Structure 1
């Protein structure tokens, strides 16, 4: 039951509620089944990474987390 959204990948949006309220950023991905979007440089979480072939040391990586689509508004005039 995926709903149709007016926000697409590549659009510029403004965050209207939450910790990052007032920030603007580009939409990196839309998750229609969950009703969420991932916005560049917003809602950053520090994730632990286990050592692997491409990342020998492991450690921490900063990653954008999904934001509910009702908490973002499309910026007009592009």
Structure 2
């Protein structure tokens, strides 16, 4: 379902379902084709990265992963 969403990049939202329920943060990215959003500080995953010129040692990084747009609610007045 690709359509218009009321949530846009930069909006403050509150997570209403899932492991991060109750937390709020700023929307970093909206993925309309997948009906998902990436929220700052929510659904953080640890990713392994290979050694490269940019990162010669490799190791782990933490990054926010996409969550369903139905799991967030826009916070009004902020």
TM-score range, shorter chain: over 0.9
Q: Which residue of 2 aligns with 1:69?
A: 69
Q: Which runs of 4+ in 1 moved over 4 A?
A: none
Secondary structure in 2 matching 1:4: coil
Displacement of 1:2 after TM fit? 2.1
What is residue 40 of structure 1 aligned with on the other side?
40
Could you tell me the TM-score, scaled by structure 2's length?
A: 0.97
* Deviations, residues 23-72 of structure 1 (Å, cap 9, x unaligned): 00000000000000000010000000000011011000001000100000
Aligned Cα RMSD in Å? 0.8
Q: Compute the TM-score of the two structures, normalised by the length of structure 1.
A: 0.97
List gaps (5 residues or longer) in structure 1.
none
Q: Give distance in 2, aligned partners of 1:73 and 1:24.
A: 9
SS class of match (2:28): strand
The answer for the alignment partner of 1:29 in structure 2 is: 29
CA distance in 2, matches of 1:62, 1:46: 4
* Structure 2 counterpart SS, 1:62: strand
Query: Between Structure 1 and Structure 2, how many residues are aligned?
Result: 78
Gaps of 5+ in 2: none
